[in-house]
């Protein structure tokens, strides 16, 4: 159980970082709106991965 949660957390963090850097590269500007957007996507991804495992 702990291993599953850890694996999902790692996957979400990798996705989180990828989205963050893509936004920075495309926009060349780290705005609050982008921060909110990828924070929400991180939370949604975490909830979905948790639900799939249950």
End-to-end CA distance of the chain: 10
Interatomic CA distance for residues 7 and 13, integer angstroms: 10
How high is the pLDDT of residue 44?
Answer: 81
Looking at residue 47, its pLDDT comes to 80
pTM of the model: 0.42
pLDDT computed for residue 8 by the predictor:
78
CA atoms within 13 A of residue 52's CA, in its CB half-sphere: 10
Collect all residues with Cβ–Cβ distance below 8 Å to 8 and sequence separation of at least 6. 46, 49, 50, 53
Per-residue pLDDT tens over the stretch 1-54: 677 778 877 887 888 777 777 777 676 655 666 677 777 877 887 787 777 665
CA 45 vs. chain centroid, Å, equals 6
pLDDT, position 21 = 75
Residue-range domain boundaries for the chain: 2-53
């Amino acid at each position: 159980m702990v291993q599953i949660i850890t694996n999902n957390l790692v996957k979400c963090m990798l996705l989180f970082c990828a989205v963050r850097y893509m936004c920075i590269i495309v926009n060349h500007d780290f705005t609050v709106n982008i921060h909110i957007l990828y924070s929400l996507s991180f939370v949604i991804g975490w909830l979905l991965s948790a639900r799939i495992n249950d």
